[in-house]
A and B are shown apart, each in its own frame.
Chain A
Amino acid sequence: MLVFGGIALIAIGMIFGDIFAVFILHQNAGEQGAALSRAAQAVADKNPAGVNEAFGHLGALLESRGTKVDAHVHMIGAGYLALLLALVQPYIALSARAKKRLAALFIIGGIFLPVGIFSIHYVGLAYSPFPVIGWASIVADASGALLSVALAGELWGFWRYTRSATDTLTDTPIPDENSWQQRALMSGGTWLILLGFLHGAWYAAVDLYDHEAQEITILGTMLDSAAANNMVSATRQVSNFGNLAGAKAVNIAAHSHIIEFGLLSILLSFIQPFVFLSDKWKGRMVKMLLGGSVILPVFVLLELKWGLVAGGIADLGGLLVIIGLIGMVVGVLRYSGSLDVVEASR
């Protein structure tokens, strides 16, 4: 349940991320720029009420974007944790029934947490019994509590295992397959994480402080230009502000995605014995996953130079990772199906 649920959560989270990147992200950035332009125009018109109105709209746009990013990140994060929990099940000293219930709780929490977060922007405070917290936030918080309860239960089981006199595992440990697919995922994942670290260090050393200084300069110039009624210059600064936000976003996205894909590859390497596919198909899925894991962050970075062409290739990279993940989910389903057949024939 944890292996299947974990991979499914990651795959759905990635599909959502791809849809968000293609259909919402760029449009939202454009609307943010328009709202900032309206604020600058209100400055030029000596209209403080217009400024507040523009900033109110900007806040709503940022909430819309932020909740979607959070939903994407939390769904994938819950998927990673589910896979991690699957790895430690042999060390959880609880009954099979209790383990199953904890796994179900975790997966339910992992589904409803991002659904709740996503709905925050749309549900707002409608029919809420509280003055500042809406129903969507309540669903998200309750799902977070479910995840915490499930994790506390797993910790309790681990504590019981460490306190038990015997060293006997409570479940069959995940076998060491030592296939080339497993080794490729393991060592490929390690290299991806290393590349992500190096890119992060490079960004922090070369661009981070420069970007921070540029942002303040642009905002200052934008205000000066608008106050001097020079809307041509103010509009140029709004555009510069958008470009700078884009540069920061692609660097952070490339850094976090390459490390996440590395972590995902290593986690998936452990569950390869449960992927019931032919050697050839297993290999194809691994190649797609690793290939997509390199293509997506590299072309996200290249978006700064190549624009939408690079963005399209990055989305294709994401699609490759999703296909690799779905292939592995099918393999896990076939594995559990084969176990059911063996059980039924007894």
Chain B
Amino acid sequence: MTSPRRILILGGILLAAFGMLFGLHYAVFVEHQTLDRMGGSLATAFVQAANRDMTQAGTAIDSYAAVKYDYVREVDAHSHWVGLSMILIVLGALFDRVGFSIAVRQTLAWSLLLGSIAFPFGVILQATHHGGRLPSAIAIVGSGLIIAGMSGTALGLARRRSES
């Protein structure tokens, strides 16, 4: 097995296992409680408004917004880790057909793997560190690495095709 393929396939399997373990932990210990808080906050906001206590209603809406902000990012991180890991494994299977030298393919493989780790990591940090710039920066750099790696792979496949 060539080195770029190994990076993608082994990296993909490890990332999939990590993403699934994260999802399992999240589903068992966090998700139901989060969904309860989210639905509860929204219902509370309406009930308080019906009681004409608009201050409490506003507080409940703020609580709903904060919980939903975290929930969206936590679920996104899990689904992106697992989804990206599948893409890495599948790309690993075809990576020897990418029409570049092994050094370039290795760079592309690292770019894809590091981006796939960093992007969801940045997203989850947004939920744990509200308002910080570093989490967004990590997510942006991660997605940039993935897009660069994927563009290179697509070009490499097209190049091999034109050569063949």
A residues engaging B (CB < 8 A)?
39-40, 42-43, 45-48, 50-52, 54-55, 59, 80, 84, 87, 178, 183, 186-187, 190-191, 193-194, 197-198, 200-201, 204, 212, 215-216, 219-220, 223-224, 226-227, 259, 263, 266-267, 269-270
Please provide the chain B residues from 42 to 80 with a CB less than 8 Å away from any CB of chain A in the complex: 42-43, 45-47, 49-52, 54, 57-58, 61-62, 64-65, 68-69, 72
B interface list, Cβ under 8 A from A: 39, 42-43, 45-47, 49-52, 54, 57-58, 61-62, 64-65, 68-69, 72, 83, 86-87, 89-91, 93-94, 97, 139, 143, 146-147, 150-151, 153-154, 157-158, 161, 164
| A88 smallest CB distance to B (angstroms) | 9
Q: How far is the CA of A54 from the CA of B49 in the complex (A)?
A: 14
Most buried by A among B50, B51, B157: B50
B161–A223 CB distance below 8 A: no
Nearest neighbor of A264 in chain B, beta-carbon distance: B90
User: Which listed residue, A43, A51, A187, A226, touches B161 by the CB 8 Å rule?
Assistant: A187
A84 and B88 CA atoms in complex are apart in Å by 12
Given contact pairs A183-B161, A219-B64, A51 touches B86 in the complex (Cβ within 8 A): no
Across the interface, B50 reaches (CB within 8 A) one of A43, A80, A198, A216, namely A43
Question: Total number of A-B contacts with CB less than 8 angstroms?
Answer: 106
Partner of A194, one of B43, B68, B154: B154
Indicate which residue in A50, A216, A223 contacts B65 across the interface (CB closer than 8 Å).
Answer: A216
* Nearest Cβ on chain A to B31's Cβ, whole angstroms: 12
Q: Please report the C-alpha to C-alpha distance between residue A48 and residue B48 in the assembled complex, in whole angstroms.
A: 8
Q: Measured between C-beta atoms, what is the minimum distance from B116 to chain A in Å?
A: 11
A201 and B94: CB pair below 8 A?
no
Residue pair A219, B94 in contact (C-beta under 8 Å): no
CB-based contact B58/A190 at 8 Å: no
Contacts of B154 in A (CB 8 A): 187, 190-191, 194
Which residues of A lie under 8 Å from residue B91 when comparing CB positions? 190, 266
Known: A80-B86, A266-B90. 5 other contacts (CB 8 A): A47-B50, A197-B143, A215-B68, A219-B61, A223-B61
Q: Once the chains are docked, how many angstroms separate the CA of A219 from the CA of B158?
A: 49
In the bound complex, CA of A45 to CA of B158 (Å): 64
User: Would you call A186 and B97 a contact (CB within 8 A)?
Assistant: yes
> Once the chains are docked, how many angstroms separate the CA of A266 from the CA of B161?
15
Chain B residues whose C-beta falls within 8 Å of the C-beta of A50 in the assembled complex: 50
Alpha-carbon separation in the docked complex, A226 to B68 (Å): 23
Known A-B contacts A186-B157, A190-B154; the reply to A223 vs B57 at CB < 8 A is yes
| Nearest Cβ on chain B to A36's Cβ, whole angstroms | 9
Question: Is B50 touching A51 in the complex (CB atoms < 8 A)?
Answer: yes
The answer on a CB contact under 8 Å between A43 and B86 is no
Cα distance, A201 to B150, chains bound together (Å): 13
Q: Can you list 17 residue pairs at the A/B interface with Cβ under 8 Å?
A: A39-B46, A46-B51, A48-B50, A50-B50, A52-B43, A54-B46, A187-B161, A190-B153, A190-B157, A204-B139, A212-B65, A223-B45, A227-B54, A266-B90, A267-B90, A270-B93, A270-B94
**Across the A-B interface, the 9 shortest Cβ-Cβ residue pairs:** A223-B49, A190-B154, A187-B157, A51-B46, A55-B43, A48-B50, A43-B49, A48-B47, A194-B150
